[in-house]
Amino acid sequence: MKIEVGTSYYPENWTRERIIRDAELMKNAGLSYVRMGEFAWSHMEPEEGKFQFEWLEEAIRIFGEQGIRSVLCTPSAAAPAWLCKKHPSILRMDRNGNKAYFGIRHHTCYTSKIYRKYVKKITTELADYFKDDPYIAAWQIENEPGATPFSQCFCEDCQIEFRQYLHKKYQTIEALNQAWRAQFWSGEYTCWDEIELNELLDNQISCRGLETRRFRSRIQAEFVHFQAAIIRDKMPDTMIGTNNYCLSDRYEVFSSLDFAGNDVYPNYRSEETMMLPYINKMACTLYSGLKPGTPPWIMETPPNPGWPMKDLTKFFFWLYAGYGYNKIFYFPWGNAMTSGEKIHLSVVDAFGNTGPQYESVKSLIAEANQVLAPYPELPLPHSPCAIIRDHDAEWMYGGCKISWLEQYYKMFCCSYISLCKNVDFAEIVSKDTDWSAYKLIVLPVQNHISKSLAEKMKNFVKNGGILIMNGASGCFDEYGNQTDCIHPEHVNDLFGLEIGENMPCNANPPVFENNPEFYRKRPVVKGVLNGKEVRGTFSVWTSYLRLTGAKTLLSFENSQLAGLPFCTINDYGKGAAIYYNANYIDQELCDQLIRFATEKAGLTPISYPEDVSIIKRGNLAFLFHFGEEQVEFSTTLRGKNRLGNALHQDKIKLSPQDIALIELETEQ
């Protein structure tokens, strides 16, 4: 087992001598990869049709000869000046005709036919030129394709493609009007040309808003897929990935790629929050779930993220390793001499001088090679608990009310935090993955529940799973409109209840603190969970429930709903389905509910401090202490600690940011 380390490199910025020197430094530090080319279009194609790749080829060879293989990138993230000047229509344009301008990266539109033509041309030339290069290890498509404000593009190509997308999906304008219930607010269309893309934050016509988001996600995925296909055609056996694909359906885009690249910048968070366990676990776990079973890559992460207080490079290196990453790329190798990335934390400085970061990366690689050498390739970490991250559900949820647009994420986090507190490590997966390996699944508000999803939910519970769902789930159709049937559609028997009318609770912010004063003015729910009385508030939405078999876990204490059920459990097959009747609940209440569900699933909630994370890959247990105070706790883990000094008889003592790597006596 080996963790391979790479770095980002920009040969277009440096002299041959500097490249040679850098390659030697990298070899000396034990690096395995360089990633190159992602912003080099103007250097690859200095004028239209005149391609020059020799400088890149030479760099690849210089590195290759030092044993460092290249991850080559397509340059579509930064169109050159001559192209923007010649074809201004490729620039992103807002609904008022205001165009992005050259020099800010991602200034072009993914939909633009002309832009795609030029991207196709240079990608083809690039793949063709390098297809037999022995030093190329993998390809990255684009760079952070999710970082573009593409969702704010309203260029003519976007409008036309949107209409074609709708035309293909609905076939006739009458079908669209009917599906969208378009007579509402005089919204009926008479022909496709009348339809415009929705503004990002406008949800007055919610179906148009939902389809706009689906369309943009599709286009963004296609933009990566079509480039990947060109590479694949020339190099059928290479590895292809991309990095940081947000604002669209990540599961869709990575489905056609070989690996998911994760750009993690712990130091972009505030000093106050960068060491919170759940933030780091979520950052690592999200990308493991994009291609289940395939190790994700850390495509970018800074050296020395704890600068200036502590050097946390080692902590994060092992954290990534523990969470399943076998490849870690530091960004950048050296700082740029100019512009927006002039002053970063970098492995060497802008002039190629080594310093603390270089030394720290070098010794880390040496240590990791030594520590991990005895072990075979480790399996990825696995949890019996998962939470579903579903983009279509998020878009539909956001479309209900303007004020709800950012709430799906917060709601997701609330449950995820509770999972971390109770089971330490939980997986984040798509609703389309195989659920059979899990014992507990949290499914945040799923306004639309299709027949097939309902079937999957029932099978999961029938076979012994514990499922938690909340909010107005199963109340809408696939267009996000209300459905006149028993709610939650298709799964009312699974949950043993019927959800009544949708009732907004004047958009109050979610409450994550136990504030007695607040309780007097707000609806409160209460009950007994895990042997103790619990109380809490909820927000944004609720409803009347009619139980048809479920048992009450929590009920309303006050308000017009006093005495009615709020949270229920229904035994179904070998498992049980839990439901709570709101979008949010207090964090503490959520913690208790997840604890209850964990035990119901036959799992034992963790007994070690929340600041500690323990994760297993095969017979290795990785221990991390995120906190600022020394902790000591009992453990059943038995084995030798291969990293650090933490004792572990029956107690483990960890100092702040301590790491331990225990070779388990038996796989536990």
Within residues 454-513, the interface with its own copies by CB under 8 A covers 479-482, 484, 500-506, 508
Nearer to its own copies, 47 or 156 (CB): 47
CA proximity to 624, closest of 610, 634, 614, 637:
614
Restricting to residues 27-86, which ones interact with its own copies according to CB under 8 A? 39-43, 46-47, 75, 78-82, 84-85
- Number of Cβ within 10 Å of residue 183's Cβ equals 10
For residues 345 to 374, the per-residue mask of contacts with its own copies, x marking binding by CB under 8 A and - elsewhere, is x---xxx-x-xx------------------
> Could you say whether residue 340 binds its own copies (CB under 8 A)?
yes
Tokens 């204490």 locate to 557
For residues 75 to 94, the per-residue mask of contacts with its own copies, x marking binding by CB under 8 A and - elsewhere, is x--xxxxx-xx---------
Nearer to its own copies, 313 or 598 (CB): 313
Nearer to its own copies, 41 or 259 (CB): 41
**Burial (0-12, 13-18, 19+ Cβ within 10 Å), 23:** buried
Q: How do strand 532-542 and strand 584-585 relate by DSSP bridges?
A: antiparallel
- Angle at 195 (CA atoms; ends 171, 85), nearest 5 degrees: 115
> Could you say whether residue 20 binds its own copies (CB under 8 A)?
no
> Could you say whether residue 602 binds its own copies (CB under 8 A)?
no
Nearer to its own copies, 181 or 535 (CB): 181
Characterise 339 by phi-psi region: left (phi > 0), alpha (psi -120 to 50), beta (else).
left
Give the CA count within 13 Å in the CB-facing half-sphere of 453.
Answer: 20
Restricting to residues 395-414, which ones interact with its own copies according to CB under 8 A? 400-401
For residues 552 to 581, the per-residue mask of contacts with its own copies, x marking binding by CB under 8 A and - elsewhere, is ------xxxx--------------------
Tokens 């599906």 locate to 179
Query: Residues 136, 33: contact at Cβ < 8 Å?
Result: no
- Angle at 415 (CA atoms; ends 278, 313), nearest 5 degrees: 10
**Per CB under 8 A, which region of 97-105, 121-129, 584-592, 614-622 contacts its own copies?**
97-105
The token duo for 261 is: 């690249």
The token duo for 326 is: 């076998």
Q: Pick from 133, 311, 493, 663 the residue near its own copies by CB under 8 A.
A: 311
> Could you say whether residue 103 binds its own copies (CB under 8 A)?
yes
Q: Give me the least distance between CB of 421 and its own copies, in Å please.
A: 24
Q: How do strand 575-580 and strand 466-470 relate by DSSP bridges?
A: parallel
The token duo for 136 is: 């190329």
Q: What is the DSSP string of 448-462?
A: ---HHHHHHHHHHHH
> Could you say whether residue 331 binds its own copies (CB under 8 A)?
no
Q: What distance in Å separates the CA atoms of residue 221 and residue 23, rounded to the nearest whole number?
A: 34
Query: Residues 277, 610: contact at Cβ < 8 Å?
Result: yes
Q: Give me the least distance between CB of 539 and its own copies, in Å please.
A: 10
Size of the site for its own copies (CB under 8 A): 105
> Could you say whether residue 106 binds its own copies (CB under 8 A)?
no
Specify which residues 404 forms β-bridges with.
none
Nearer to its own copies, 272 or 533 (CB): 272
Nearer to its own copies, 193 or 632 (CB): 193
Restricting to residues 524-553, which ones interact with its own copies according to CB under 8 A? 541-542, 544
Restricting to residues 194-253, which ones interact with its own copies according to CB under 8 A? 194-196, 198-199, 202-208
Q: Give me the least distance between CB of 59 and its own copies, in Å please.
A: 13
